[in-house]
Every structure is written in C-alpha cells, then in structure tokens.
Amino acid sequence: MSFHPKMTYGAAFHKSARDLDPDRDQGPPFEYTAENRARFDRIVQRYPDAQRRSAVLPALYLVQYQQGHITASAMRYVAGLLGITPADVEDVVSFYSMFYTKPVGRFVLQVCRTLSCALNGAERVTEELSAKLGIKPGETDPSGTFTLIEVECLGACDRAPVVMVNDAWHECLTPGDAAKLVDDLKARGEAALSGCHHVVEKK
C-alpha cells in the first residue's frame, strides 16, 4: 500500500530483487584507503573477537564514505575482513535504506513516507522536491548532484515531515521549505548542511 495514491509503495531507490542478483555489476576491486583501514582497525577493536561481525555497520559506512555506494566487490572485501560470508554482508546492505548499491548524487534527499510524516504532508514535500529537481523518487538528476529517495521512518516522528539530506535532518518541512532547501543547496553546497536545521515548531 502507499500513503499517497500516486506513489507506489516499494519503489524505493535501492531495494529490488535485482540488487540481490549475483550477476549484477560487481564493481572494481575494492579495498579501504590506508586512512579508512586504520579507522576500521580502531572500530573493530571495540568488539570481542567472537563478535567481530558486529562491526559490519560501521565497516559498510566506511565503504560508502569512501566510494559513495557499496558494490558487490566491497561487500566481499568487508566479509573477508570480518570473517563472515558475502551473503551475510549483503543481508545487511539490503535491509538498511541508508546503504546505496548504485551511484547516488552529491546530495541524497531522503523523504520519510511513514505514518507521522505521511499524515503531516510528506507526499506534498516529495512532489515539490520532485518538481524542483525534475526527477522522480529513486532517480538522480543528470548532473549527478541530487538523488531523491523515499524512505521509512527516520526516527524524528514528532518533527514530521522529515527530510534527511546526506547526514543532516530537516524537520517540520513545508513544501515551500523544501524548495528553499534545494535552492540553498544549489547556492551554497555542503555549507547549506552545516549548523542547526531543526525548525522550531510553528504555532
């Protein structure tokens, strides 16, 4: 089902049976940079040897920070480091919406479509972003700058509707706020993401 009649539930950006197809693009051979390998080594020390696999989430985030998305080659690399199977890693990648299995834009706009946000107008925000960027949910614009995705609960339901841009939350967004956010990102780039973006509740 969908909370919005025009938007098909399940049309998320990075989840499809094709993503789990072993014949899909494997990507080039992957390994961490020396800096990221040092980060990984520090992270994995936080876990007992028998629980080394518990480092899979930060290990995958390091991959994504390094190359923008997580290829099958990178999954195998992480599996090797953690002593688990590539299928174990792929299970994690395919479960969490914050992991991308294909290239994304410089700014990834994730619009929450779960109940609180849906009831507070998330679909209007998505429509505004879609119109402003000229792309549908699940697409990246031709310049590779913006990717628009619909996701499930972002954990700020009391501040709905919520849009996450890269690692920054934007809360209580009206469609007009969303349009201004895009303009700000175009004008100021990453600088538009710094600082506090928590909009005070409107009375």
Contact residues for ligand FES, defined by CB under 6 A: 112, 114-117, 153-157, 160, 162
For residue 176, which amino acid is it? G
CB of 192 to ligand FES, least distance (A): 21
Q: Would you say 108 or 112 has its CB closer to ligand FES? A: 112
CB of 171 to ligand FES, least distance (A): 8
Q: Would you say 110 or 140 has its CB closer to ligand FES? A: 110
Q: Would you say 103 or 155 has its CB closer to ligand FES? A: 155
CB atoms within 10 A of CB 92: 18
- Residue 136 to residue 57: CA distance in whole angstroms: 28
CB of 10 to ligand FES, least distance (A): 17
Q: Would you say 155 or 189 has its CB closer to ligand FES? A: 155
CB of 120 to ligand FES, least distance (A): 8
